[in-house]
Amino acid sequence: MPLTNLPNFAPDLLTEFATRKTERIDTPVIQPAEPFLDIAGEDLRRRIFMTESETGASLCLRPEFTIPVCLRHIETATGTPKRYSYLGEVFRQRRDGGNEFYQAGIEDLGETDTASADARAIGDAVAILQRLIPGKTFSTVLGDQAVFEAVVQALGLPLGWQKRLIHAFGNMTQIEALLASLVSPQFVTGLDDEIARLVAAGDDQALIAHIDQTMEATGYSTNASRSPADIARRLKEKLVLSETRLDDDAFRVLEEFLSLNVPLADASSALAGFADAAGLKIGTALSHFDSRLAALSNAGLDLSSMDYRAAFGRPLDYYTGLVFEVSVEGSSAVLAGGGRFDKLLNFLGAKERIPAVGFSLWLDRIETERAAA
């Protein structure tokens, strides 16, 4: 598909992709909407442009490339490891203006040495920016959702609360609201007396039967997207969550973890010290974190230009581990961002587990920095 109005550095960018032995891939502008609605997360869902096919299927204009590239990989039954690159238009509402803009990036699928693949993604993003904007100093911030998940799990919270907190990773406003709910639970009120009695009695079969009868009587069952058993399960889970209270010690542990913000070279010792002081067993997550640091050092990357922030995440729900962003030092404009998404391809229909990591580049922001150089 021919591209118009590309920035003048696009040939250099394509050369960088070719040098890194990636396969250039294009994907249709019109995409099935379901994967973005189900997987990408609320931040993207509310900003995409929807339409419908003649058969009523929900479609959207391509809001990003990672999901389409992964779908294309699955559809073509291509083996791994595989490195794809892309350059094209994406369509979504942006806070800083414009609904149509160019993105480029690399998706690295199937590399089982995840630490090396993570280091390569960060190294490629930084090296490409150095080529496109020579003479600038770049800063990189890293987070790790897997470490956050390990901390939450080690605190022994109910699974439902773990899922809520993990889902909110990277959104401090949402996490703070959830923690406030945990410290001062708001009990569920307004339940039907019979439902409240059945829940309290733990009589699941009677509860399901009562919900089924109510749905039949109201006519709701003909349009229900959830079965009586699903509704009963979610109702019980909601009640359990509403009655869970986070004790003061656990609250302080989470607060301390989320406040960690250190140079990347000091991150390993800071995390180990935190875990020891809190008595948390998060050794597996720390081992993976240390392996990534070693891979970054072995790749010759400057750890002094990178920071680790325990609360840092990116607004896409499919990330599972590493997340990172790169900007010009002293600027808040993100020029490159990405991370690890090991579960995404299975969610999209892949039969086997395919580890994956990648990053995207914001071409209009890069062009602005080039003009200012």
CATH number, span 10-145+312-372: 3.30.930.10
Return the half-sphere exposure (C-beta side, CA atoms, 13 A cut-off) of residue 94: 14
- Nearest-angstrom CA–CA distance, 78 and 80: 7
R_g of the chain computed on alpha carbons: 23
Pairing of the two strands 58-61 and 30-32: antiparallel
Q: Which residue would you say has higher pLDDT here, 204 or 119?
A: 119
CA distance linking residue 66 with residue 356, whole number of Å: 10
For the chain, what percent of residues have pLDDT higher than 90? 62
* Residues of each domain in the chain carrying CATH 3.30.930.10: 10-145+312-372
Tens digit of each residue's pLDDT (9 = 90 or more) over 317-369: 899 999 999 999 999 899 999 999 999 999 999 999 999 999 999 999 999 99
Give pLDDT, residue 181: 79
> Confidence band (pLDDT; 50, 70, 90) for 222?
very low
**Taking the model in full, what pTM does it have?**
0.83
Cα distance between the two ends of the chain? 31
Distance of alpha carbon 310 from alpha carbon 332, whole angstroms = 19
Closest by Cα among 342, 297, 293, 334 to 312: 334
Please say whether the beta carbons of 91 and 67 come within 8 A: no
Tens digits of residue pLDDT in 276-329: 999 999 999 999 999 999 999 999 999 988 999 999 998 788 999 999 999 999
